């Protein structure tokens, strides 16, 4: 028997019988449930569910039909993902390479279930990295009109059949139009635990203030700079004796592990976005 693994995401207003109804729909179609996680956010009276199941490919239409019949009655929002279809991810970078290398190495080690479709940069410095890992490299300079630059992004995304974008320390601001077009498909990394140290050299600013904890935040890019829904965060305590150089290295370590963790959550369809807030199941 040839089975295909799917992931079902559901969110809707909280009500009785949602778990039982979901399992009945899957069981009637002959699905074998591998994993199911659910959460009810009481403060907003909203139910979230992620189900992983195996099913004969020809029977998936039965599940789609049953879920569609429940949409209006339950005010149901749902997505169904075929896990045999590997997401294609573009990596946007500038000159800093620690997040880029971490993503590429984790992919090579089988940690990230995706294919990297291309590397896009506003500098040529990291072009050889793409060659080393067999990932096409595209140079799109930032000293041109934003609309021209982003139209080139769209061409690259289409040419490489890209599904989503990771900003691996891409030091340029994307327009509101672009982030809206690819809403919740652009993941950014930010030194978000340093809110008092904005602008240039935040780790240097933090060191001079004797900061005791640093961190990073991976979030979806939106038109509000560094204000998108948060996917993943991590922190690191800072020894009193640390130098600026050591602090910068600590920061890089946090950034790369937080970004790769966020991408993995997205690839596994564990991220739900509701009213500008994320729920991770």
Residue 103: name the closest of 276, 255, 268, 279 by CA. Answer: 255
3-state secondary structure of 96: coil
Q: What does residue 277 show for φ and ψ, rounded to 5 degrees? A: -125, 145
Active-site residue, 97 included: no
Query: Which one of the listed residues 102, 226, 234, 253 is annotated catalytic?
Result: 226
The angle formed by the CA atoms of residues 129, 132 and 135, to the nearest 5 degrees, is: 75
Instruction: Indicate the pairing of strand 186-190 with strand 213-220.
Output: antiparallel
Contact 155, 136 (CB under 8 A): no
d(Cα 274, Cα 124) in Å, to the nearest integer? 38
In DSSP notation, 33-82 reads EEEEEEEEETTTTEEEEEEEEEEEGGGHHHHHHHHHHHHHHHT-EEEEEE
Active-site amino acid positions: 226
């Amino acid at each position: 028997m040839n089975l295909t693994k799917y992931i079902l995401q559901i969110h809707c207003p909280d009500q009785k019988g949602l778990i039982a109804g979901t399992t009945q729909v899957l069981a009637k179609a002959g699905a074998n449930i591998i994993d199911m996680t659910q959460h009810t956010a009481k403060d907003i009276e909203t139910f979230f569910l992620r189900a992983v199941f195996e099913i004969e490919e020809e029977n998936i239409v039965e599940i789609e039909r049953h879920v569609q019949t429940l949409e209006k009655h339950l005010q149901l929002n749902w997505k169904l993902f075929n896990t045999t279809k590997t997401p294609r991810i573009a990596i946007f970078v500038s000159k800093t390479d620690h997040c880029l290398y971490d993503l590429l190495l984790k992919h090579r080690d089988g940690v990230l279930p995706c294919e990297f479709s291309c590397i896009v940069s506003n500098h040529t410095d990291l072009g050889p990295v793409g060659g080393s890992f067999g990932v096409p490299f595209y140079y799109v300079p930032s000293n041109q009109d934003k609309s021209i630059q982003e139209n080139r992004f769209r061409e690259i995304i289409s040419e490489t059949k890209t599904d989503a974008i990771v900003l691996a320390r891409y030091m340029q601001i994307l327009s509101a139009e672009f982030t809206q077009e690819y809403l919740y498909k652009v993941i950014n990394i930010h030194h978000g635990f340093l809110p008092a140290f904005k602008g240039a050299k935040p780790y240097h600013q933090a060191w001079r203030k004797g900061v005791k904890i640093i961190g990073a935040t991976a979030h979806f890019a939106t038109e509000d700079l560094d204000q998108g829904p948060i996917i993943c965060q991590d922190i690191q305590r800072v020894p009193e004796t640390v130098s600026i150089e050591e602090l910068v290295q600590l920061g890089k370590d946090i950034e790369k592990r937080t970004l790769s963790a966020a991408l993995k959550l997205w690839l596994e369809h564990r991220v739900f976005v509701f009213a500008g807030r994320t729920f991770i199941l």
